Amino acid sequence: MKHVTPKELAAMDAESDRCALELSDARLDAMAYACLVAIMAMGPGYHRQSELRLHRQAKENGAAAPVVTSAGALIDGLQALEAKRICIICPYMRPLTQTVVGYIEAEGITVHDFIALEVPDNLQVGRLDPEQLLEIHQRLDTRGIDALVLSACVQMPSLPVLDRVERSLGIPVLSAATATVYRLMKSLNLEPRVPSSGELLSGRY
């Protein structure tokens, strides 16, 4: 995937079975499908189908391992925080961002406000300066929300400022990446505690 478009996302997802099979040769303890929008672009609830299918690929190779998707992990993380009303920041073009909003809302979580940074180049997404999020998040209407998703994309950096934004807002702040780490640690029966990485990874959930 070079450009974050529905066509390229679907083509990437079509390769996920092969990837899970090949990775399972390493006899892993867990696997993560770390592209949130590739899953969400496939339709509401698709993370459940994907996780089961990819787990089956590994199991049939004699290497059964839990499979985490960042899309499913974000939903689980928000539910662990008991967040019912949120704001999100996405690097995607606006139509894809609206797809992400719809996916989250189909899980019973209201997206009160969102920002689409509209960066189509996948490599450029990874080069975004997380420090800019200190200003970007202030454009959101955060009144009455339970949590902020500072980056609804594993590729988009946010960890260096996540804790600072959380302290300034006084509500839980997470990202697709921290939610994925949370789910991975839980699947490995490890305490989900990572210092300075937001409320979800405080060890309280």
**Which residues lie below 8 Å from residue 197, measured CB to CB, with a gap of 6+?**
159, 162, 163, 178, 181
Confidence of residue 6 (pLDDT cuts 50, 70, 90): confident
Confidence of residue 187 (pLDDT cuts 50, 70, 90): very high
**Residue 1 reports pLDDT greater than 80:** no
pLDDT of residue 4: 82
Positions marked active-site:
35, 153
Question: Rounded to two decimals, what is the model's pTM?
Answer: 0.94
- Give the mean pLDDT of 125-150: 98
Confidence of residue 12 (pLDDT cuts 50, 70, 90): confident
Residue 89 or residue 7, greater confidence: 89
Mean pLDDT of the chain: 96
Residue 4 or residue 59, greater confidence: 59
Confidence of residue 66 (pLDDT cuts 50, 70, 90): very high
- Lowest pLDDT segment from 3-12, 114-123, 126-135, 159-168: 3-12
**Residue 101 reports pLDDT greater than 90:** yes
- Give the mean pLDDT of 155-181: 98
Distance separating alpha carbons of residues 34 and 71, to the nearest angstrom: 8
3-state secondary structure the chain: CCECCHHHHHHHHCCHHHHHHHHHCCCCCCEEECCHHHHHCCCCCHHHHHHHHHHHHHHHCCCCCCEEEHHHHHHHHHHHCCCCEEEEEECCCHHHHHHHHHHHHHCCCEEEEEEECCCCEHHHHHCCCHHHHHHHHHHCCCCCCCEEEEECCCCCCCHHHHHHHHHHHCCCEEEHHHHHHHHHHHHCCCCCECCCCCHHHECCC
Residue type, 179: A
The pair phi, psi for residue 82, each rounded to 5°, is 60, 35
Distance separating alpha carbons of residues 182 and 169, to the nearest angstrom: 21
Distance separating alpha carbons of residues 203 and 205, to the nearest angstrom: 6
Confidence of residue 75 (pLDDT cuts 50, 70, 90): very high
How many Cβ atoms sit within 10 Å of the Cβ of residue 168? 13
pLDDT of residue 3: 80
**Residue 119 reports pLDDT greater than 80:** yes
pLDDT of residue 179: 98
pLDDT of residue 84: 98
Report domain extents, the chain.
Answer: 6-71, 74-184+191-200
If we measure between CA atoms, which residue out of 49, 62, 47, 63 comes closest to residue 176?
47
For domain 74-184+191-200, the question of CATH label 3.30.465.10 is answered with no
pLDDT of residue 127: 97
